[in-house]
């Protein structure tokens, strides 16, 4: 799939007006034309701006207390434990998960609601 993306991008970049504004490919891409060379360039330069998540989902791999099913004494507490990808940055969510996991491991009761709903009339 990435190789197809490389081919499509090369076609786009070969069209005017952008073709006259470029000087050619650089780095790992300068001489990458065969499938093997393109695959090597992809491996050398590809990265993701996304945080991997949901690879050890709660419900599938983990129970509700982040324990790995079938392996005693092992828990997972990072973005891989999320059941679904969230739309924002993962940092704050993972910190919250870690705090909750620490409480579960230590057997601490959940904190009371900070702003309990009040009925007013």
Active site residues: 51
Of 40, 108, 98, the residue nearest 66 (C-alpha): 98
Is the four-CA dihedral 69, 70, 76, 81 of positive or negative sign? negative
Beta carbons of 38 and 65 less than 8 angstroms apart: no
- Which residue carries 């057997």 as its tokens? 107
Of 52, 30, 57, the residue nearest 41 (C-alpha): 30
């Amino acid at each position: 799939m990435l190789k197809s993306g490389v081919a499509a991008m090369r076609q786009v970049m070969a069209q005017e007006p952008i073709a006259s504004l470029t000087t050619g490919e650089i780095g790992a891409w300068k001489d990458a034309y065969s499938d093997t060379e393109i695959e090597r360039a992809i491996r050398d330069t590809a990265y993701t701006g996304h945080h991997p998540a949901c690879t050890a989902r709660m419900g599938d791999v983990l129970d509700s207390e982040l324990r790995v099913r079938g392996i005693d004494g092992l828990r997972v507490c990072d973005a891989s434990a999320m059941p679904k990808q969230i739309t924002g940055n993962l940092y704050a969510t993972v910190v919250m998960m870690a705090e909750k996991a620490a409480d579960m491991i230590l057997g601490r009761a959940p904190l009371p609601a900070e702003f309990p709903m009040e009925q007013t009339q």
